[in-house]
Amino acid sequence: MSIHIAAQKGEIAKTVLLPGDPLRAKYVADHFLSDVRLVSQTRNAFYFTGSYKGKELTVGASGMGCPSIGIYSYELFTEYEAETIIRIGTCGAYTTELQLFDLVNVDHACSESSFALHAWGIEQDRIPHQGPAFSRINETAALLGKSLKTCHIHSSDMFYRKDSGTPPVAQKHHCLAVEMEAFALFANALQLGKNAATLLTVSDVIPTHEKISADQREKSLLPMMELALEAGIRM
Ligand code: HPA
């Protein structure tokens, strides 16, 4: 057991899919994995380990924001010897270069967050995906005929804020979209020599106010889940 995950050593697979929402982790486990075991439910952050096409995978919740994914990814990498974490989540597009339902594989996460600096002395405000997971996702998308975009994204510490424009760090690095976790995941993987990627579905387009509706949400995330699972078994 680690502080925030109750699984025993050996109950977490080498590759972990990490949505923010515990119920999304449960959805992936219920719909895609066989021989599933619930290996942790500390704080209702469910972690399930099971089999996808004969390969062992774990899916669990990161929670929201850099501090939360910073905790879970660190414990998965260090206490459970996970080698690869693929975050699966949603993002808001800053520009109409991206459209609702687009799938994005994150090239670099850019942030004004002090997480990387204060955790590891990493001074840059732009951290790339780590290891071969990003390429494996691109190759898998090509194999499955799924269209996938790659770009830099902004990992924001704020969901709500006063100004509605694109924040300076996102402008500086030409980030096409915003989410809240990839920067800390990539920082931890960089520090620990592990593999990390982030796969996102565009759930809203900020300038046009378009949003995936509540009833579209479940179905709209299936292509991302499928791609993450297919890439996950190829790590
Ligand atoms: N901001 C931050 N995270 C998000 C957003 C957003 O607008 N949309 C989806 N995840």
- The residues spanned by each domain of the chain are 15-232
Going through the chain in order, the beta strands assigned E by DSSP cover 15-19, 34-40, 47-52, 55-60, 84-93, 103-110, 126-128, 149-155, 177-179, 195-205, 210-211
Q: Which residue's CA lies nearest to atom 2 of ligand 1?
A: 179
Distance between CA atoms of residues 189 and 184, nearest Å: 9
What mean pLDDT comes out for the span 85-101? 98
CA distance 111 to 78: 24
CATH dotted code for 15-232: 3.40.50.1580
Among candidate residues 125, 47, 123, the one with its CA nearest the CA of residue 79: 47
Residue 162's pLDDT band, with cuts at 50, 70 and 90, is: very high
Task: Give ligand 1 pocket residues (Cβ under 6 A).
Answer: 90-92, 156, 159, 178-180, 203-204
Question: Tens digits of per-residue pLDDT, 200-235?
Answer: 999 999 999 999 998 888 889 999 999 999 999 999
Q: What is the pLDDT of residue 140?
A: 98
Backbone angles phi, psi at 111, to 5 degrees: -160, 150
Provide the pLDDT for residue 1. 85
